[in-house]
């Protein structure tokens, strides 16, 4: 468990340095959901990346490289793509999923997967040819899905934490110490960043942070063979991304979508009533009412916690634990 403690403590104590670095380098963003529109550094993800990577290196040193090295490489590839976006500008939304496929390569090349996922009712399947393709597709889907919920202060972290708790419980029950440590490393980093990223945020985690966590979650699901539980637990993230893709008819940058899903009125969030506005989880939460940012994030977290519970239930009851 030392690995998780290191991950959490490093993330917590490196966050102030990441904030200062963001201000110095002018890697900042506008917090558009507040009436005073504060300028916030978007370098908090660096603390998560350094903290969790240090934890994983420690894990690799203590209990073997087979599990941790592919995860470290996958996460760093995804984080690099996010870092480019944080430092320069958004990558073409049609190119970004293709780039994120590279995050799957360490897992595929190092053979850190089992092509026999468990499907409810069917049991263990044999997808020797199809599974690598699914692995390649899963990184862009999950990374973008986690990234797409990074819309409010703390929302990406609070919606990822339920998955990480679920996977930790599953691995604990299975007695798989290495995977448990891996889950706890990400959980500790996410929890440690909360005081800086929650309302009112002192830092954003940026695309680097959200893609790093997304790649971590994908790696945990694949290497831990909890694919189905992960799909269920990540339903809020997946449906948020899916709704946006369907409703704006294709891959487009958020900046290029004319109609916003949510409008801000005196610091309160209200769902757009424009039928052509993208359907997002936040728009559904705010449908017909006005909600303050803090409560909207708690609502997202509650919905994610419920989805994680369904994922856990599916794993225990239908996949034999």
What residues make contact with other proteins under the rule CB under 8 A? 119-122, 129-130, 231-232, 235-236, 239, 242-243, 246, 270-271, 273, 275, 279, 281, 283-291, 295, 299, 302-303, 306-307, 310, 314, 318
Minimum CB distance to other proteins, residue 232 (Å): 6
Q: Which is nearer to other proteins, 102 or 306 (CB)?
A: 306
Q: Which is nearer to other proteins, 106 or 236 (CB)?
A: 236
Q: Which is nearer to other proteins, 120 or 195 (CB)?
A: 120
Cis peptide preceding 282, ω within 30 of 0: no
Minimum CB distance to other proteins, residue 296 (Å): 8
Minimum CB distance to other proteins, residue 89 (Å): 30
Which candidate, 90, 80, 94, places its Cα nearest to that of 212?
Answer: 80
Minimum CB distance to other proteins, residue 275 (Å): 8
Minimum CB distance to other proteins, residue 100 (Å): 19
Q: Which is nearer to other proteins, 68 or 199 (CB)?
A: 199
Q: Which is nearer to other proteins, 87 or 119 (CB)?
A: 119
């Amino acid at each position: 468990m030392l690995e998780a403690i290191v991950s959490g403590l490093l993330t917590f104590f490196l966050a102030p340095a990441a904030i200062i670095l963001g201000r110095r380098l002018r890697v900042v963003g506008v917090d558009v959901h507040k009436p005073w529109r504060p300028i916030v550094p978007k370098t908090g993800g660096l603390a998560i990346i350094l903290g969790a990577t240090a934890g994983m290196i420690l894990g690799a040193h203590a209990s073997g490289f087979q599990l941790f090295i592919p995860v470290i490489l996958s996460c760093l590839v995804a984080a690099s793509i996010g870092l480019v976006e944080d430092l320069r500008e958004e990558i073409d939304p049609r190119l970004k999923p293709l780039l994120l496929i590279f995050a799957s390569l360490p897992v595929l090349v190092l053979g850190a997967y089992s092509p026999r996922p468990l499907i409810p009712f069917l049991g263990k399947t044999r997808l020797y040819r199809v599974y690598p393709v699914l692995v390649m597709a899963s990184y862009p889907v999950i990374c973008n899905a986690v990234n797409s919920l990074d819309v409010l202060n703390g929302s990406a972290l609070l919606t990822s934490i339920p998955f990480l708790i679920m996977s930790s419980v599953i691995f604990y029950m299975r007695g798989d110490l290495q995977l448990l440590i891996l889950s706890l490393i990400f959980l500790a980093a996410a929890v440690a960043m909360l005081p800086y990223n929650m309302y009112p945020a002192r830092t954003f985690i940026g695309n680097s942070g959200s893609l790093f966590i997304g790649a971590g979650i994908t790696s945990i699901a694949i290497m831990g063979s909890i694919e189905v539980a992960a799909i269920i637990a990540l339903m809020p993230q997946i449906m948020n991304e899916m709704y946006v893709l369907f409703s704006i008819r294709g891959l487009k940058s958020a900046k290029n979508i004319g109609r916003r899903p949510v409008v801000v009125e005196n610091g309160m969030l209200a769902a757009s009533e424009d039928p052509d506005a993208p359907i997002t989880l936040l728009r559904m939460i705010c449908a017909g009412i006005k909600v303050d940012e803090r409560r909207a994030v708690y609502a997202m977290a509650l919905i994610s916690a419920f989805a994680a519970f369904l994922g856990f239930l599916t794993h225990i009851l239908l996949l034999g634990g």
